[in-house]
Amino acid sequence: MELDSLYQEVILDHYKHPQHKGLNPVFSAQVHHVNTSCGDEVTLNVTIKDRKITGISWDGQGCSISQASVSMLTDLLIDKTLEEAEVITHSFSELMASKGTSTGDADLLEDAVAFAGVSKFPSRVKCALLGWMAFKDAAVQSQGESK
Ligand code: ZN
């Protein structure tokens, strides 16, 4: 696959130096998602208080795209409200569905626009979305519990 080399560096940097990796035993919701087509796995522990995401910790294994994407997700979503997180998650999903036609909203997605080139490769889109799907699942679970 061809990726702009700067973007490739951003992804590799998160892969080598993952943010918020290592599961926090205190959480509101825990989810485990697997991308069978590539063998990627991620476990997310999400803490939500008063509709604000106060913590996301994670563990996982798999390709650099899947692991770097989770790392960026934690940077982007911690300290956001659920509403803000939904906007960011939606924007990332749209970027991944763009088949290479979108460069992404850098105001919302920051470093995660580095995945724009990945959207041209359907098999890798699943890798990039793994952590985001897991987060959506965790957000739904934690809201169910608070009611
Ligand atoms: Zn993968």
CATH fold of the domain at 3-142: Sufe protein. Chain: A (3.90.1010)
Where in the chain are the domains?
A: 3-142
pLDDT per residue of the chain (147 residues) written in tens, 0 to 9: 455 787 899 999 999 999 999 999 999 999 999 999 999 999 999 999 999 999 999 999 999 999 999 999 999 999 999 999 999 999 999 999 999 999 999 999 999 999 999 999 999 999 999 999 999 999 999 887 544
Q: Where are the alpha helices (DSSP H) in the chain?
A: 5-16, 64-77, 82-96, 106-109, 122-146
Tokens standing for 120? 């041209």
How many whole angstroms from 118 Cα to the centroid of ligand 1?
11
How many whole angstroms from 54 Cα to the centroid of ligand 1?
27
SS3 state of residue 57: strand
Q: Give the pLDDT of residue 147.
A: 45
How many whole angstroms from 125 Cα to the centroid of ligand 1?
8
Q: What is the value of pTM for the model shown?
A: 0.93
How many whole angstroms from 145 Cα to the centroid of ligand 1?
31
How many whole angstroms from 123 Cα to the centroid of ligand 1?
8
Spatial separation of the C-alpha atoms in residues 43 and 33, rounded to whole Å: 6
How many whole angstroms from 61 Cα to the centroid of ligand 1?
9
Torsion of CA 101, 90, 117, 75, to 10 degrees: 150
Find, among 48, 81, 65, 50, the residue nearest to 132 by Cα: 65
Task: Pick left, alpha or beta for residue 86 (phi over 0 → left; psi -120 to 50 → alpha; otherwise beta).
Answer: alpha
